[in-house]
């Protein structure tokens, strides 16, 4: 089926108490593994490409890959820009056919984050594409921030309410104790903070940096109101470790198919496990019934 937008996915997840998995892909094999896993689990899935991933593989190139995979898939697949840190990158991905955007203004002060997020939202909504934003700060280098210091980066429920109301954003990534690039599951989530934000914010909530979060905490976060969970480091680790193992056993291998196929399989199994952990397995049919294709928005009158 054609690429779909994320809005229906997250609404369904919110209503039914599960989370949609958003998995990063940096090349063909990673994207294939993600979609293959979703099909095996009959789950909706978000294939996301970070700004760094785009600089590596290209915005249009990755869009073309995921579009082809989605067209052949039996489950809803969305293509999401992960951590677009400026307006221009978001517009590049909007033009390339991404069906979900993210503006990450977490490095800015509150007012600047509101201002630029609102600009991205206005442009994207004009053609029916949803936007995720980030408030608070999910640290990108766990070696530089002690777990005990994370509280000062966390999202304020009061600011979250104001931010959503002023920007009209479709989903909100919140900082509640996770960190990007964690290779061990040592993050401690502030579940009560998630609940407090859920009480004052109507849009779906997103958890970044899930690779470092223990499984039980993931389940508690979903119960507290998280509807979308991002995973990258754990997938990249599985993918790379499989390649390393194969090449260490036979250093004469030069055919990339010999190790990329196995790496794709390892990533696929990792994604399948995450989908089941998030409770998204078997949810594809429900999402398919409520999803609206992005092209159906085009031409609608925009009401201020």
In a domain, 105, yes or no: yes
In a domain, 301, yes or no: no
In a domain, 2, yes or no: no
In a domain, 63, yes or no: yes
Catalytic residues: 82
In a domain, 248, yes or no: yes
The pLDDT score that the predictor gives to residue 188 is 81
**Domain tally, the chain:** 1
Distance CA 43, CA 73 (A): 11
The domain containing residue 259 runs over which residues? 7-296
Query: What CATH number does residue 188 fall under?
Result: 3.20.20.70
Going across the sheet that includes 131-135, the strands are 77-82, 45-50, 20-24, 226-231, 205-207, 171-174, 131-135, 101-103
pLDDT (tens place) for every residue of the chain, 304 residues total? 899 999 999 999 999 999 999 999 999 999 999 999 999 999 999 999 999 999 999 999 999 999 999 999 999 999 999 999 999 999 999 999 999 999 999 999 999 999 999 999 999 999 999 999 999 877 665 555 565 667 777 899 999 999 999 999 999 999 887 765 555 556 788 899 999 999 999 999 999 887 788 899 999 999 999 999 999 999 999 999 999 999 999 989 999 999 999 999 999 999 999 999 999 999 999 887 775 545 444 433 333 3
The pLDDT score that the predictor gives to residue 142 is 59
Query: What are 125-165's pLDDT values in tens digits?
Result: 999 999 999 998 776 655 555 656 677 778 999 999 999 99
CB distance 137 to 175 below 8 Å: yes
The pLDDT score that the predictor gives to residue 180 is 53
Evaluate if pTM is beyond 0.75.
yes
In a domain, 1, yes or no: no
For the chain, percent of residues with pLDDT exceeding 70: 88
In a domain, 52, yes or no: yes
Here the contacts of 222-226 (C-beta below 8 Å, separation 24 or greater) are: 222/17, 222/18, 222/19, 222/278, 222/279, 223/17, 224/191, 224/194, 224/195, 224/198, 225/14, 225/194, 225/195, 225/197, 225/198, 226/19, 226/194
In a domain, 98, yes or no: yes
């Amino acid at each position: 089926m054609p690429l779909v937008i994320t809005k229906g996915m997250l609404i369904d997840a919110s209503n039914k108490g599960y989370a949609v998995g958003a998995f990063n892909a940096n090349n063909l094999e990673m994207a294939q593994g993600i979609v293959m896993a979703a099909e095996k689990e009959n789950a909706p899935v978000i294939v996301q490409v970070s700004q760094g991933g785009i600089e590596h593989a290209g915005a249009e190139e990755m869009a073309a890959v995921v579009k082809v995979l989605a067209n052949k898939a039996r489950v809803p697949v969305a293509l999401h820009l992960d951590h677009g840190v400026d307006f221009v990158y978001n517009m590049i991905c909007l033009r390339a056919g991404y069906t979900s955007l993210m503006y990450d203004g977490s490095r800015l002060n509150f007012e600047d984050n509101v201002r630029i997020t609102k600009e991205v939202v206005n442009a994207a909504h004009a053609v029916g594409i949803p936007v995720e934003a980030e408030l608070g700060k999910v640290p990108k280098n766990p070696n530089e921030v002690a777990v005990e210091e994370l509280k000062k980066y966390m999202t304020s429920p009061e600011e979250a309410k104001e931010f959503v109301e002023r920007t009209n954003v479709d989903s909100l990534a919140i900082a509640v104790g996770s960190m990007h690039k964690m290779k061990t599951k040592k993050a401690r989530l502030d579940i009560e903070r998630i609940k407090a934000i859920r009480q004052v914010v109507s849009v779906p909530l997103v958890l970044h940096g899930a690779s470092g979060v223990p499984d039980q905490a993931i389940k508690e976060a979903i119960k507290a109101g998280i509807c979308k969970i991002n995973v990258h480091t754990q997938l990249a680790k599985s993918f790379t470790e499989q390649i390393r193992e194969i090449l260490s056993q036979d250093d004469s291998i030069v055919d990339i198919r010999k190790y990329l196929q196995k790496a794709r399989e390892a990533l696929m199994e990792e994604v399948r496990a995450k989908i089941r952990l998030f409770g998204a397995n078997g949810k594809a049919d429900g999402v398919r019934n409520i999803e609206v294709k992005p092209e159906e928005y085009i031409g609608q009158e925009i009401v201020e």
